[in-house]
Amino acid sequence: MASRREVAELAGVSEATVSRVLNGVGPIREETRRRVLEASERLGYVPSALARSFARSKSGNLGVVLPYVPKAHLFSAYFFSEMLSGIGSKARDNGLDLLVMFRTPGEVMNYTDLFRRQKIDACIILGARHDHDELAAIQQLDREGHPFCVMNQHFAGESFSEVDADHIEGSRLAVRHLTDQGYRSIAFLNGPDSYSNSQERMEGVRLGLQQAGMELDPSLLLEGNYSRRSGIEAAAIIAERLHEIDAVFAANDRMAIGVMHGLRERGVRVEDFPAFVGYDDSDAAEMAVPALSSVRVPFFEMGEIAVSKLMHPAGALQSPRTLLPTELIVRASSSRNVM
């Protein structure tokens, strides 16, 4: 492997000049530039990103923290891979590499150390939840002034840089869609409260019902953990009250599909299914039978935006929290005519 020194020799210039040419900095005589490029080309010289990083004290890496998911399929891989793709796409545009890390079950992630160790220059946090340790870790990040961005989770009372989707509106849309069609008894299967997402969905449901002149019936409120299994479990309760429950809104597609399965297992026929609306509009939604109406969340774009925010250091005017719009996708599961 050719070294920079050899290139310098072959081109008859100093190493510094080689650097300048290759980095495109400083004024260079065209003739010199050509010679260096040629020598570099001929020798197949490739500068070490490592040495460069070291000299600049910049790793060139964007850290991405993912939840611990191996085998435990709580969430669909769908939305993390979407976000990751969005992040990756934008990161590449900015010449950053992606350093991905999985959270470990027990231990708390020490985000600041990643910066201190200079493994990463910035960080995007996915799948965070509101617990004490997580919050403390992120607060420290903030305090030390490291550039970071939290995705799909809001920490109330903090002013972290966040990218999220409008889950209140998404849920409101879902509920209004149901009430508009005359459904009156809507079961809401939410996720754990430790995700701001869940709280926002709750809020949206409340709002939607209120607008429809209805009230939230606490007995129709169910809590799962976003897994399909928890949907199946919820089906037990729903099945028993099927004479009154005429619609189900679930906080994600997996749970919605879980409920469908649970009902089926209990012998409920599709014709007797309540209306269903899920959330995320993951690929599972269109694979479901009946095809599942769902609230679409622009995960890919959220990923892109997170990187953008990191790159363009928040103008003072820019809100630390960016909210992207959600959209209701209606499919057979919730449309009386289509079914």
Partner DNA sequence: TTGTAGGCGTTATCAG
Partner DNA sequence: CTGATAACGCCTACAA
| DSSP, residue by residue, 160-201 | --EEEE-HHHHHHHHHHHHHHTT---EEEEE--TTSHHHHHH
Residue with token string 């960080």: 123
Cα 148 to Cα 136: distance, rounded to the nearest angstrom: 14
* Nearest distance, CB of residue 16 and a copy of itself, angstroms: 19
Note whether 28 binds DNA by CB under 7 A.
Answer: yes
CB of 13 to a copy of itself, least distance (A): 22
Our CB check for DNA shows the closer of 20 and 177 to be 20
Q: Which positions from 45 through 84 interact with a copy of itself, judged by CB under 8 A?
A: 46-51, 53-54, 57, 59, 61, 69-71, 73, 76-78, 80-82, 84
Decide if 227 contacts 249 (C-beta within 8 A): no
Of 110 and 318, nearer to DNA (C-beta) is: 110
Q: Are 291 and 285 in contact (CB under 8 A)?
A: yes
* DSSP code for 284: H
**Residue 21 Cβ vs DNA, minimum distance, rounded to whole Å:** 8
Task: Choose among 163, 148, 87, 88: nearest CA to 112.
Answer: 148
How far, CA to CA in Å, does 318 sit from each of 27, 86, 146, 315?
37, 21, 17, 5
Q: Tell me the torsion sign for CA atoms 250, 252, 255, 259.
A: positive
Binder of a copy of itself out of 15, 32, 85, 246 (CB under 8 A): 85
| Contacts to DNA from residues 40-99, by CB under 7 A | 46-48, 51-52, 54-57
Cβ distance to a copy of itself smaller for residue 102 or 242: 102
Distance of CA 289 to the CA centre of its chain: 26
Judged by CB, which is closer to a copy of itself: 65, or 150? Answer: 65
Task: List contacts with DNA (CB under 7 A).
Answer: 3-4, 12-17, 19-20, 22-23, 25-29, 31-33, 46-48, 51-52, 54-57
Contact footprint for a copy of itself (CB under 8 A)? 1, 46-51, 53-54, 57, 59, 61, 69-71, 73, 76-78, 80-82, 84-86, 88-89, 92, 97-102, 104, 113, 116-119, 228, 257, 261, 264, 283-284, 286-289, 300
